[in-house]
Amino acid sequence: MLKIRTPFALARIGRDTRSIRCRSHHYGSLFPALITSHPFPPTPTQSQFWVEKYEKEACRNWDIFYKNNTDQFFKDRHYFAKEFPDVFGVQVGGGDGEEEDEGPSRVGVSDDRGSTSATSDTKTGADCCARVFGPAPRYALPSLTANEVKDGTGTARPAGRVFLEVGCGVGNTAFPLLALDKAAAVYCCDFSQRAVELVEARKEGLSLHEKSRINPFVCDITRDPLTEHVPPGSVDVCTMVFVLSAVSPEKFARAIRNVSSVMKPGGTGRVLVRDYACGDLAQSRFASKTRQKLSENFYVRGDGTRAYYFSQEELTALFAKFGMEQTQSVVHEKTITNRSTRVDMERRWIQASFASAAVPAEALPAPPPRAEPEWAARARLADRRKAGEAVLAEKAKSLELAKQTQAVADLEKELVTCTRGTLERVVLGIARDGAVESGAMLRRLQMEAQS
């Protein structure tokens, strides 16, 4: 009997009145697809204007999400050893594989998390069937690679395995990965600068040695080449946890190609995916709303972040395009019943693993420089104008100073040669007129001397 952890979403509310039934559908290369796409009544989609707006503002919206939630929204994900024992080795007392995991369990509707809170009578249980795995990768045991330091070309590589977590958020997967393999180096990236700053802040709490093992960086996996931060062909295990669903479907291929470019070649690397599955409760809620559908299976939440719902075949085909063969695919299903309302809630998510390609995909070409936002261009021009004005003012000041210095020098020369009477007349005149400027004094002296 598997224990199901109290879901984070409900832990936030406090008490849980749900009964949970859990099933998993698996298919590897030997099994037929059990879960395909899930039909919903047609919902009108958003206009192209809004679709493009959400795409343009994707990074900004996640930034705002992390500004509002900091590192308090998701919990650390400790199920990798249990769910992928061929990759991490089975850990006694490791995370519970059926731990509820819904990524951002928000659908922009208030009742997503808040509809169950009457009594504390919680029943949990699970009957998951046997898993199907592909062949264990060569690097399954860390000790096999622990002493490698240089690759065939003599390039220095981390001594242990290399993990990469893309779309790392605040590090809820990246930090647990550190603990799974004490010799591994963990790269992790997100396109939200704020999220990466939160990872950096958490990293500060680690020991010096642990700090050196985790490398966070900002990267939009649909446009920035990962090879700028991660050596090409170096990654043993890449995790993609609820990140692909946040990318627009037109850019899935770019993201996967980018990941492939840093994976170890020869089918020895693994890409581990956990993401939303078609038919999830949140999708049905989206489907019942107008103005939340952006395209087929793709929706926008109230805060502007987006979610795509995958079928197993679709995910398999996406990776196959880049020569990455599926080694595991499971759809986890969990029925959560609200005892007070007797409403069943179907949560579903896909878990899959893909072998790296025989030859990794080429790295993405370097993206063109980002277009400067209008406000930034205005600020830059204003700064430039201010700097120009300051230089001109400085020049005028030094010119004036030079003029005055010259006048004083001339005055001194004139004073040496002038008679006492001349000087007295000039000083009296100045006292009368109130003019004390060196140039004026000089002119008067000269006039006196000539008269």
Ligand X SMILES: C[S@@+](CC[C@H](N)C(=O)[O-])C[C@H]1O[C@@H](n2cnc3c(N)ncnc32)[C@H](O)[C@@H]1O
Q: Residue 134 class from Cβ within 10 Å (0-12 exposed, 13-18 middle, 19+ buried)?
A: middle
- Residue 243 engages ligand X in binding (rule: CB under 6 A): yes
Instruction: Give me the DSSP letters along 365-416.
Output: PPPPPPPPPHHHHHHHHHHHHHHHHHHHHHHHHHHHHHHHHHHHHHHHHHHH
Binding residue for ligand X (CB under 6 A) from 220, 275, 280, 414? 220
Min separation Cβ 161 and ligand X, Å: 19
- Report whether 247 contacts 222 (CB < 8 A): yes
- Residue 215 engages ligand X in binding (rule: CB under 6 A): no
* Binding string, residues 352-391; x marks residues near ligand X by CB under 6 A: ----------------------------------------
- Report whether 211 contacts 203 (CB < 8 A): yes
Min separation Cβ 357 and ligand X, Å: 21
Min separation Cβ 394 and ligand X, Å: 46
- CB nearer ligand X, residue 235 or residue 445: 235
- Residue 242 engages ligand X in binding (rule: CB under 6 A): yes
Binding residue for ligand X (CB under 6 A) from 94, 167, 216, 269? 167
Site for ligand X in 170-209 (CB under 6 A): 172-173, 190-192, 195
Min separation Cβ 392 and ligand X, Å: 45
* Alpha carbon 30 to its chain's center: 36
CA distance 318 to 218: 24
- Residue 163 engages ligand X in binding (rule: CB under 6 A): no
- Report whether 161 contacts 184 (CB < 8 A): yes
CA distance 142 to 256: 25
- Residue 299 engages ligand X in binding (rule: CB under 6 A): no
- Residue 62 engages ligand X in binding (rule: CB under 6 A): yes
CA distance 77 to 75: 6
- Residue 246 engages ligand X in binding (rule: CB under 6 A): yes
Binding residue for ligand X (CB under 6 A) from 95, 104, 216, 360? 104
- How many residues bind ligand X (CB under 6 A)? The answer is 22
- Whose structure tokens read 């089975």? 90
- Residue 108 engages ligand X in binding (rule: CB under 6 A): no
Report which residue type is found at 181.
Answer: D
Binding residue for ligand X (CB under 6 A) from 27, 74, 84, 139? 74
Nearest to 233 by CA among 184, 203, 268, 206: 268
- Residue 169 engages ligand X in binding (rule: CB under 6 A): yes
- Whose structure tokens read 């790392």? 168
- Whose structure tokens read 């989609």? 45
Min separation Cβ 241 and ligand X, Å: 4
Min separation Cβ 382 and ligand X, Å: 31
- Residue 95 engages ligand X in binding (rule: CB under 6 A): no
* Binding string, residues 254-283; x marks residues near ligand X by CB under 6 A: ------------------------------
- Report whether 159 contacts 209 (CB < 8 A): no
| Region binding ligand X by CB under 6 A among candidate stretches 131-139, 243-251, 275-283, 410-418 | 243-251
- Residue 241 engages ligand X in binding (rule: CB under 6 A): yes
- CB nearer ligand X, residue 230 or residue 246: 246
- Residue 221 engages ligand X in binding (rule: CB under 6 A): yes
Min separation Cβ 56 and ligand X, Å: 12
- Residue 237 engages ligand X in binding (rule: CB under 6 A): no
Binding residue for ligand X (CB under 6 A) from 87, 107, 162, 168? 168
Min separation Cβ 312 and ligand X, Å: 20
Min separation Cβ 247 and ligand X, Å: 5
How crowded is the C-beta side of 251, counted as CA atoms within 13 Å? Answer: 19
Min separation Cβ 383 and ligand X, Å: 30
- What six digits make up the tokens of 445? 């002296």
Nearest to 162 by CA among 100, 218, 233, 113: 233
- Residue 310 engages ligand X in binding (rule: CB under 6 A): no
| Neighbouring residues of 246: CB distance < 8 A, sequence distance ≥ 6 | 58, 62, 167, 305, 306, 307, 308
Nearest to 233 by CA among 153, 146, 114: 153
* Binding string, residues 408-437; x marks residues near ligand X by CB under 6 A: ------------------------------
- Residue 225 engages ligand X in binding (rule: CB under 6 A): no
Give the three-class secondary structure for 333.
strand
Nearest to 315 by CA among 270, 279, 351: 351
How many other C-beta atoms are found inside a 10 Å radius of the C-beta of residue 376? 11
Residues that bind ligand X (CB under 6 A): 62, 74, 77, 103-104, 167-169, 172-173, 190-192, 195, 220-222, 241-243, 246-247
